[in-house]
Amino acid sequence: MKLAASASRLGAVTVSLLTLPGVALAHGAIPGMGAFYTGLLHPLRVAGHLLALTGLALFMGQRRLFVSRHTLLAFMGGLLSGLSVLLYGPAWVGPLAEKALLLMALGLGLAVATAHATPLRVNRWAIFLVAFAVIADSGQDGMASQQLFLANAGVVCGATMLVANIGSLVQWIRPAWALVGVRVVGSWVAAAALMVGALMFRASA
């Protein structure tokens, strides 16, 4: 009971922090920090990115997908495709990707919470689309072309490190109580995605 109560309090604090406006909207450069490190921290500063990547990492780890090179290729392919759209695609892709990330975070969080089995093809598409949308929505305001290149490289590294570290940890979890904990975190991701989406909709209304 004490563990469940502590988990609930931690989840409430996490959701509250993710819904702060300063965290939800952070596409500019960090003062006093180089372009690469600004990009490296970018997935942690934007709520939709953090939720979608965390949900994806839990999803991949829960299904032991890191042992498959095809799923890893899907992730890298999504990153590279998103980067090409970010650099050369139409401007409306970014805002659309931002909303899509919250929907994907919701779906991934629910999939982790229910531990529902999904076909391999669906898994690959989910991996590709999250990676694509994160990079496509990672435009940096007020940067020169050389700085923008470094920032984009940082975003790719940051997103990869986040998914690889969380997902690899989850993949090797064996105790039953820890597997339940993974499902609880998945439910937090889904709940936070709903709250951030509601705040975004209210702000745009």
Nearest to 54 by CA among 187, 178, 179: 187
At residue 103, the pLDDT reads: 95
Instruction: Please name the residue that has the structure tokens 């942690």.
Output: 44
At residue 30, the pLDDT reads: 65
Please report how many Cα atoms fall inside a 13 Å half-sphere around the Cα of residue 5, on the Cβ side.
2
Q: Distance of alpha carbon 185 from its chain centroid, rounded?
A: 14
Torsion angle (degrees, nearest 10) of CA 59, 107, 54, 175: -40
What sign has the CA pseudo-torsion 27, 30, 33, 37?
A: negative
- Confirm if 138 and 152 have CB atoms less than 8 A apart: yes
Nearest to 162 by CA among 9, 22, 8, 41: 41
- Confirm if 115 and 183 have CB atoms less than 8 A apart: yes
Instruction: Classify residue 28 by its DSSP letter.
Output: B
What's the mean pLDDT in 117-121? 90
* pLDDT tens digit sequence for 34-75: 889 988 999 999 999 999 999 999 999 999 888 788 888 999
What's the mean pLDDT in 140-154? 80
Using the predicted structure, report yes or no on whether residue 8 has a pLDDT greater than 70: no
* pLDDT tens digit sequence for 76-93: 999 999 999 988 888 888
* pLDDT tens digit sequence for 13-37: 444 444 444 443 345 566 667 889 9
Q: State pTM to two decimals.
A: 0.83
pLDDT band for position 156 (cuts 50, 70, 90): very high
